[in-house]
Amino acid sequence: MADSGATAQPKPSSSVKLVLLGEAAVGKSSLVMRFVNNDFQENKEPTIGAAFLTQKCNLPTRTIKFEIWDTAGQERFASLAPMYYRNAQAALVVYDITKPSSLIKAQHWVAELQRQASPGIVIALVGNKYDLASPSSGDSAEDADAAPAAEGENPEEEEGADARRVPTKTAKAYADEESLLFFETSAKTGMNVAEVFTAIANAIPETSLKGPRGVGGQTNLGRQEDNRVNLVGGRTEGPKEGCAC
């Protein structure tokens, strides 16, 4: 195992596979668009198909290149996710703070990840659409609990400024119990978006980046692993005349 820092290389860089999960319309793709392009589209169409994006995150001692797999649009068939979170090192489970049912769905995803995904996976629970909440609403757990939105679909029309239906406390308590990272974000304003990814990057254990034997570690695409066979190295002038037999 090559020891980093021994030579004058810049910073060690590793790839981290991150999968995005959550109910439709909670803002998964918007979070990624904000993180990757620092961009937000107000009435974004539902994502068709799935998406793959990459973005770097610079930490003081290393660079993490996120490979972000968005299952967008296919949650309803629930068949894409297992293939996506296979060997993922991180998962972003998103709910909408104005829609309690989306937290329930997020909890299902967390349970499934804990059951099926790589044992060392870092899970972040993210309550999105913070911009729809009034500034102090997160703390006043009572009124949110007491007034369950009949059908949390278009709450802001009736309730005025504060559309929050999931108190910060509730989600935070759940996240603590399950040892998840927890953030409330707004893809619209950009609040906390970069912070989520930085926190995930910091939470990925060094060991799972170091080598292929790390728990749940995989696809360290940025680095040449000692025991990986390099298919595009110097010698590949031609598996051309391969003898097909």
Partner 1 sequence: MDTLDGTEWDVLIVGTGLPQSLLALALSRSGKKILHIDENGYYGGTEAAFSLQEAEEWEKHIDEDVSAAAFSNISITKSESAVSETTPSLSFSRAYSLALSPQLIYARSTLLQYLVSSKVYRQLEFLAVGSWWVYSAESDNMDNGEPSISSESGPRHGRLLKVPNGREDVFQDQVLDFKAKRALMRFLRFITEYEEQMEMWEDHRTKAFPTFLSEQFKIPITLHAPLLALTLSPSVSSQTTTEYALPRIARHLRSIGLFGAGFGSVIPKWGGMSEITQVACRASAVGGGVYVLGKRLSCIDGPTSADNSEEETSGFRLRLNDGEAISAQHVVGELSRPPISSATCCKSITIVSSPLPPLFPPIAEDAPPPACAVVVFPSGSLPLDADEQAAELPPIYIFIHNSDAGECAAGQSVLYASTTLTGEKGFQLLKKAVRALLLSVDVTPAPNVLWTLQYEQHPRPLISLLALDPDERPLDLLTDLAFDDSVLDHVKGIWQQIMGDSAGDFLVFEDREANQGDDDE
Q: Smallest distance from the beta carbon of 64 to partner 1, in angstroms?
A: 12
- Name the residue nearer to partner 1 (CB basis): 80 or 144: 80
Comparison of 7 and 136: residue with beta carbon closer to partner 1 = 7
Question: Could you give phi then psi for residue 70, rounded to 5 degrees?
Answer: -105, 120
Nearer to partner 1, 41 or 79 (CB): 79
> Scanning the structure block, which residue is given the tokens 């995005």?
20
CB of 218 to partner 1, least distance (A): 7
Coil, helix or strand at residue 128: strand
CB of 231 vs partner 1, minimal distance in Å:
5
Contact (CB, 8 A) for 70 and 207 = no
Please report, as ranges, the residues that interact with partner 1 according to CB under 8 A. Answer: 13, 48-54, 56, 69, 71, 74, 76-77, 79-80, 82-84, 86-87, 116, 118-119, 212-213, 218-219, 221-233, 235-236, 239-245
Query: Minimum CB separation from partner 1 for residue 24, in Å?
Result: 9
Which CB sits closer to partner 1, 19 or 193? 19
- The amino acid that residue 118 corresponds to is S
Sign of CA dihedral 5, 8, 9, 10: positive
Count the residues in the chain.
245
Judge whether 168 and 127 are in contact, CB under 8 Å.
yes
